[in-house]
């Protein structure tokens, strides 16, 4: 057993232990936000026998009638948890924590291959484990796809880097393994599509040492490209977000080529019925309708991403960035200046410290899917930074290592103290942020404390208070949300259900009539009115226990699940 192998195993175990210590207090947390609908209230996920369905190769051809069918890798991971733990949330959180640690281990291995420096690899891994920006992806089970995408993408890049120094069957096997891991990453989350760009950047900044390997491996690049095309064929019939004024890239392509898609997907995918269309918040309409507003808005968001990566405090669960229609608005020019500094630094360091340059360029490369090049329904989210943050940690590890390896003892002491201080500070911020994920009420109250102008947060707080049988607080939150967003369809229908369940039928009817006035053609409003009339006719309007409200009991007139992102 070689010394390097023992060191690697010790580093992996150490990182897993560090991650466990940071997140141990989250294992007993309740499901939060999307976890209700996507995990615990989805019968497909809670049926262990569906693992066979997910591992059946025919599932890559057929569209599964389940939420998140475009991410079978994520589905397999949570169905596996259901098999092992049933509905015990601590098991799901433990699995997410393990994937986070394995991703950090892959980053350590990648940093070691690129730098041949143990300190650089260890610093990169430690920073990745403790960074507070990861708390959302680690704590919310339905966002585990980012953890899986990072793990498989990093492992794919590791195998590719290893393949460059090999010849013959060993090289072919590693390239095949890299392609396989890339495919698995794509099946977990769309963020993995940026891996081929990382491969090209690695070859450009850190070319293989052998003269024969310095030419770009076009055949391998073509293989990655072919896999992307296959993924597009897989993803196309599994459309994503469709809202009142916008549809995502895959939904748009599917609408434009229905004959091709329906011929491929058996049975045909959902058609986007009116009741399944998402609402466009009033502050996002200009974003969808005016390209200039979209560019300026995403510019400011891109700047905020850099700030969150460098200083991840404060953090909030739900972001509602307002549209930007002028260069003079705060944050736009600062964002452009910050990003120009990132690119200029990468260019300046490309020869002297190529790993630092690679890490800096990793950030914008992996942000491309959420950069606004195609319209997004969710403009900003912390989980979008999970994969990009690996580049920051890689760059920081390589940079800090040069100071820790300095010939000057004073420089080494200062660098070591500074690094330890940063790790301790980030760990403290992570521990503090983890408290906000205890339950829905804690999560949304933390967001409200930072931005009281997000209607969706007030509607979700109303549901959380209703679940805890605090109707006065719930009603106050509903009214605040509707004051901020009067035409909110789901929020108003949920308020009507809340009133009806508390034997206040006249007020419930008034809310339904208001919803119909704002949305005269909505199938959901018509269905809610029919449900109301049925209950009135049967004389079943009466108060219900809060537990039944949470379980969506009774008539099924409305959904009582959190407003998802």
Q: What's the rounded mean pLDDT across residues 113-131?
A: 93
Query: 142 and 12 in one domain?
Result: yes
**What DSSP line would sit under 237-302, residue for residue?**
TS---BBSS-B-HHHHHHHH-HHHHHHHSSSPPP---GGGPBP--GGGHHHHH-HHHHHHHHHHHH
Give SS3 for 235.
helix
Q: What's the rounded mean pLDDT across residues 285-297?
A: 76
Distance CA 109, CA 60 (A): 31
Say what percent of the chain tops pLDDT 90: 52
* Higher-scoring residue by pLDDT: 497, 60: 497
pLDDT reading at 187 higher than 90: yes
Q: Which of the listed residues 402, 435, 468 is the one where a domain comes to its end?
A: 435
Does residue 420 sit within a domain? yes
Query: 311 and 266 in one domain?
Result: yes
Categorize the per-residue pLDDT at 538 as very low, low, confident or very high, splitting at 50, 70 and 90.
low
Does residue 561 sit within a domain? no
* Higher-scoring residue by pLDDT: 214, 542: 214
Say which range, 239-243, 325-329, 413-417, has the weakest mean pLDDT: 239-243
pLDDT of residue 240: 57
Does residue 176 sit within a domain? yes
Does residue 556 sit within a domain? no
Of 48-52, 530-534, 549-553, where does the model show the most confidence?
Answer: 48-52
pLDDT of residue 546: 42
pLDDT of residue 242: 42
State which residues form the domain around 144. 3-435
Query: 192 and 267 in one domain?
Result: yes
Q: What's the rounded mean pLDDT across residues 533-559?
A: 49
pLDDT reading at 544 higher than 50: no
Structure tokens at 340: 């120009």
Query: 412 and 457 in one domain?
Result: no
CATH number of residue 505's parent domain: 1.25.40.10
Q: What's the rounded mean pLDDT across residues 188-198?
A: 94
Say which range, 237-251, 499-513, 522-536, has the weakest mean pLDDT: 237-251
Distance CA 183, CA 242 (A): 26
Q: Which residues contact 294 (CB under 8 A, 6 or more apart)?
A: 287, 288, 372, 375
Query: 142 and 198 in one domain?
Result: yes
Structure tokens at 431: 């521990």
Query: 470 and 375 in one domain?
Result: no
Burial classification of residue 252, based on how many CB atoms lie within 10 Å of its CB (0-12 exposed, 13-18 middle, 19 or more buried) = middle
Query: Number of structural domains, the chain?
Result: 2
Query: 459 and 397 in one domain?
Result: no
Say which range, 129-133, 179-183, 369-373, 427-431, has the weakest mean pLDDT: 369-373
pLDDT reading at 534 higher than 80: no
pLDDT of residue 267: 42
Q: Is the pTM of this model over 0.85?
A: yes
* Higher-scoring residue by pLDDT: 358, 278: 358
Query: 376 and 473 in one domain?
Result: no
Q: What average pLDDT is seen over the chain?
A: 84
Distance CA 396, CA 412 (A): 16
**What DSSP line would sit under 33-99, residue for residue?**
TTHIIIIIT-TTTT-TTHHHHHHSGGGGTS--SSTTTT-HHHHHHHHHHHHHHTT-HHHHHHHHHHH
pLDDT of residue 209: 67
Of 184-193, 287-296, 397-406, where does the model show the most confidence?
Answer: 184-193
pLDDT reading at 478 higher than 90: yes
Of 257-261, 536-540, 554-558, where does the model show the most confidence?
Answer: 536-540
Q: What is the pLDDT of residues 194-217, one digit of tens each?
A: 999 999 999 999 887 654 455 678
Q: What's the rounded mean pLDDT across residues 287-313?
A: 87
Distance CA 178, CA 170 (A): 12
Query: 302 and 161 in one domain?
Result: yes
* Higher-scoring residue by pLDDT: 410, 195: 195
Q: What's the rounded mean pLDDT across residues 137-161?
A: 95
pLDDT of residue 404: 82
pLDDT of residue 65: 79
pLDDT reading at 559 higher than 50: no
pLDDT reading at 252 higher than 60: no
* Higher-scoring residue by pLDDT: 134, 8: 134
Does residue 377 sit within a domain? yes
pLDDT of residue 539: 62
Query: 485 and 340 in one domain?
Result: no
pLDDT of residue 393: 96
**What DSSP line would sit under 372-437, residue for residue?**
TSS--SS---GGGGHHHHHHHHHHHHHHHHHHHT-S-HHHHHHHHHHHHHHHHHHHHHHHHHHGGG
Query: 336 and 305 in one domain?
Result: yes
Does residue 446 sit within a domain? no
Distance CA 380, CA 315 (A): 12
pLDDT reading at 147 higher than 90: yes
The 3-class secondary structure across 540-553, one letter per residue, is: CCCCCCHHHHHCCC
Q: Which of the listed residues 392, 407, 435 is the one where a domain comes to its end?
A: 435
Say which range, 237-241, 320-324, 450-454, has the weakest mean pLDDT: 237-241
Does residue 447 sit within a domain? no
Distance CA 412, CA 404 (A): 5
Query: 514 and 373 in one domain?
Result: no
Q: Which residues contact 564 (CB under 8 A, 6 or more apart)?
A: 33, 34, 37, 38
Of 103-112, 278-287, 527-536, where does the model show the most confidence?
Answer: 103-112
pLDDT reading at 466 higher than 50: yes
Does residue 382 sit within a domain? yes
């Amino acid at each position: 057993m070689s010394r390097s192998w023992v060191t690697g195993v010790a580093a992996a175990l150490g990182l897993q232990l560090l991650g466990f210590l940071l997140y141990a207090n989250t294992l007993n947390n309740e499901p939060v936000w999307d976890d209700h609908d996507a995990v615990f209230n989805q019968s497909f996920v809670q049926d262990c026998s569906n693992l066979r369905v997910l591992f059946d190769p025919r599932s890559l051809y057929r569209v599964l009638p389940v939420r998140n069918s475009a991410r079978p890798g994520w589905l397999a991971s949570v169905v596996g948890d259901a098999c092992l733990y049933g509905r015990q949330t601590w098991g799901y959180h433990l699995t997410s924590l393990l994937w986070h640690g394995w991703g950090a281990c892959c980053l350590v291995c990648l940093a070691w291959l690129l730098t041949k420096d143990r300190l650089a690899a260890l610093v990169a891994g430690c920073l990745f484990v403790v960074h507070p920006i990861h708390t959302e992806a680690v704590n919310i089970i339905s966002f585990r796809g980012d953890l899986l995408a990072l793990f498989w993408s990093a492992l794919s890049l590791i195998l590719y880097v290893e393949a460059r120094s090999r010849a013959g069957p060993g090289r072919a096997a590693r390239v095949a393994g890299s392609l396989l891991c890339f495919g698995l990453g794509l099946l977990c989350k769309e963020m993995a599509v940026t891996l081929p760009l990382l491969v090209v950047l690695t070859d450009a900044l850190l070319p293989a040492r052998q003269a024969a390997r310095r030419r770009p491996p076009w055949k391998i690049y073509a293989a990655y490209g072919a896999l992307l095309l296959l993924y597009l064929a897989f993803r196309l019939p599994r459309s994503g977000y469709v809202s009142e004024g916008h549809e995502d890239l895959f939904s748009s392509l599917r609408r434009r080529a229905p004959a091709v898609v329906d011929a491929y997907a058996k049975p045909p995918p959902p058609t986007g019925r009116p009741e399944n269309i998402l609402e466009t918040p009033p502050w996002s309409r200009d974003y969808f309708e005016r390209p200039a507003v979209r560019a300026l808005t995403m510019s400011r968001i891109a700047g905020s991403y850099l700030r969150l990566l460098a200083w991840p405090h404060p953090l909030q669960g739900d972001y509602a960035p307002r549209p930007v229609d002028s260069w003079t608005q705060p944050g736009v020019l600062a964002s452009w200046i910050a990003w120009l500094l990132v690119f200029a630094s990468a260019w300046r360091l490309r020869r002297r410290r190529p790993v630092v340059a690679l890490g800096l360029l990793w950030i914008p490369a992996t942000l491309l899917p959420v950069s606004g090049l195609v319209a997004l329904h969710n403009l900003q989210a912390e989980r979008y930074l999970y994969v990009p943050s690996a580049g920051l940690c890689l760059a920081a590890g390589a940079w800090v290592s040069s100071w820790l390896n300095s010939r000057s003892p004073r420089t080494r002491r200062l660098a070591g103290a500074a690094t330890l201080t940063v790790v301790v500070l980030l760990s403290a911020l992570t521990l503090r942020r983890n408290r906000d994920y205890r339950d829905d009420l804690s999560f949304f109250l933390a967001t409200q404390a930072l931005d009281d102008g997000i209607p969706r947060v007030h509607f979700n707080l109303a549901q959380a208070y209703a679940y805890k049988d605090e109707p006065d607080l719930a009603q106050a939150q509903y009214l605040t949300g509707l004051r901020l967003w009067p035409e909110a369809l789901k929020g108003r229908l949920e308020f009507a259900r809340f009133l009806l369940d508390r034997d206040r039928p006249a007020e419930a009817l008034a809310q339904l009539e208001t919803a119909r006035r704002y949305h005269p053609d909505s199938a959901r409003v018509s269905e809610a009115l029919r449900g109301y009339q049925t209950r009135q006719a049967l004389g079943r309007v009466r108060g219900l226990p809060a537990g039944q409200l949470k379980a969506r009991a009774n008539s099924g007139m409305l959904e009582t699940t959190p407003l998802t992102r």
